[in-house]
Amino acid sequence: MAALPYADADSSLRALAGRAEGFGRFAVGGLHGPLYCVTTLADALLPPHYHLFLILLEPDLLAGLDTVLEFKYCGDRISGVLNFEWEILIIQEMMGLDHFVMVVVKRNHFGLFFEVSGTIHLSSYLNVSSYKTIDGRGRQIKLTGKGLRLKDCEHVIICNLKFEGGRGHDVDGIQIKPNSRHIWIDRCSLRDYDDGLIDITRQSTDITVSRCHFAQHDKTMLIGADPSHIGDRCIRVTIHHCFFDGTRQRHPRLRFGKVHLYNNYTRNWGIYAVCASVESQIFSQCNIYEAGQKKKTFEYYTEKAADKQEAKSGLIRSEGDLFLNGAQSCLLNGIGEECVFHASEYYPIWTMEAASDSLRAVLQVCTGWQSVPRPQDQVTIA
């Protein structure tokens, strides 16, 4: 009988920390901070108890900020990160003085849990900063309208939430860009957004997506922005034990980076199942691909990286995959498959079994949001 990994991950609220398999295995979320329990969805995801600091800057130091910070100007405002721990809110010139005041906020570590179920209507992206766990275990929480944005952050865990009905240009369910790392997305249900369900781009890396259910969508998961973003060569993502349920394409579509797919079930796609674009490497291991009308499983798109003269596609290595209902792998046999990475080069163990009918049955019922009880830990009422 097939079984999913993480058998004891629900033993406590903090048990998810550092437990992901694959490239996102170091994600700890809000492990080292307090646990907050949300009792009303009106302000459910407002970050509690941020600490503000005022820093006096001399002009010479201000001029040198670009050597120690990553930031963007917008009028008299500046936003960015310092060692992923400090977020700059504003830099303001002091009236009559040759100095500046910088207001920064220290990013708190915390876990966010829910006492109530319901729908959160987002009118704009909700920005998630570093060292956060957003955990829907024990309740049914749906986000609609917009999605979550993980920008310039690290160590984020998102667990057991629903995302549905995102509207607007460039609106994804979960948007991870730029420069974010150590992320784990587990047991989420995602459907019907105007852009992607999960997009991972612009040098975001070391991410695991596990036990998620994707449905009613076109461009499901983009990894790697476009051929001009050559910094995306650093991207590394693991996708395992997920169910791509009739979504049209991009399970995922990858540019530049490395993706390990294992024990996923993809069925009834509309164009292709998995696509390798410019310079990418995909290791597809013991997955189930069940075709509908379209039979082509693996697709290769040729694109030219901004710093190269010749256009290239990506590479796909298939090992132990199961192709059903006439699904055709369409692998480019003999063309660089031996150059595709092996997961053992990056992490020593992962929970995997042979692709089978029993695995397919389990993935149809045990992926996405799950009605599991919330572990009984001591929490603070937010």
Question: What is the pLDDT, as a whole number, of residue 337?
Answer: 76
Q: What is the mean pLDDT of the segment spanning 94-98?
A: 48
Kindly tell me if the per-residue pLDDT of 379 is higher than 80.
no
In tens, the pLDDT along 148-182 reads: 999 999 999 999 999 999 999 999 999 999 999 99
In angstroms, how far is CA 77 from the centroid of its own chain? 28
Residues assigned a catalytic role: 250
Res. 82 pLDDT band, cuts 50 70 90: very low
Kindly tell me if the per-residue pLDDT of 77 is higher than 50.
no
Question: What is the pLDDT, as a whole number, of residue 45?
Answer: 54
Contact (CB, 8 A) for 325 and 304? no
As a residue count, the chain comes to 382
Give, as one character, the DSSP assignment of residue 108.
Answer: P
Instruction: Give me the phi and psi of 80, to 5 degrees please.
Output: 175, -160
Question: What is the pLDDT, as a whole number, of residue 111?
Answer: 87
In tens, the pLDDT along 215-248 reads: 999 999 999 999 999 999 999 999 999 999 999 9
Q: What is the mean pLDDT of the segment spanning 181-196?
A: 98
Nearest to 189, CA basis, from 222, 218, 211, 166: 211
In tens, the pLDDT along 251-297 reads: 999 999 999 999 999 999 999 999 999 999 999 999 999 999 999 99
57 vs 29: CA distance, rounded Å? 32
Range of weakest confidence among 12-16, 103-107, 185-189: 103-107
Share of the chain above pLDDT 90, in %: 70
Res. 61 pLDDT band, cuts 50 70 90: very low
Question: What is the pLDDT, as a whole number, of residue 377?
Answer: 73
Contact (CB, 8 A) for 152 and 174? no
Question: What is the pLDDT, as a whole number, of residue 49?
Answer: 42
Question: What is the pLDDT, as a whole number, of residue 289?
Answer: 98
Kindly tell me if the per-residue pLDDT of 57 is higher than 80.
no
Domain ranges in the chain with CATH number 2.160.20.10? 22-30+123-365
374 vs 244: CA distance, rounded Å? 26
Q: What is the mean pLDDT of the segment spanning 21-49?
A: 80
Fold topology of 22-30+123-365: Pectate Lyase C-like (2.160.20)
Res. 38 pLDDT band, cuts 50 70 90: confident
Kindly tell me if the per-residue pLDDT of 349 is higher than 70.
yes
Nearest to 267, CA basis, from 220, 199, 222, 200: 220
The reported pTM is: 0.86
Question: What is the pLDDT, as a whole number, of residue 2?
Answer: 63
Q: What is the mean pLDDT of the segment spanning 175-203?
A: 97
- Chain-wide mean pLDDT for the chain? 86
Question: What is the pLDDT, as a whole number, of residue 4?
Answer: 80
Kindly tell me if the per-residue pLDDT of 202 is higher than 60.
yes
Residue 158 CB burial class (10 angstroms; 0-12, 13-18, ≥19): buried
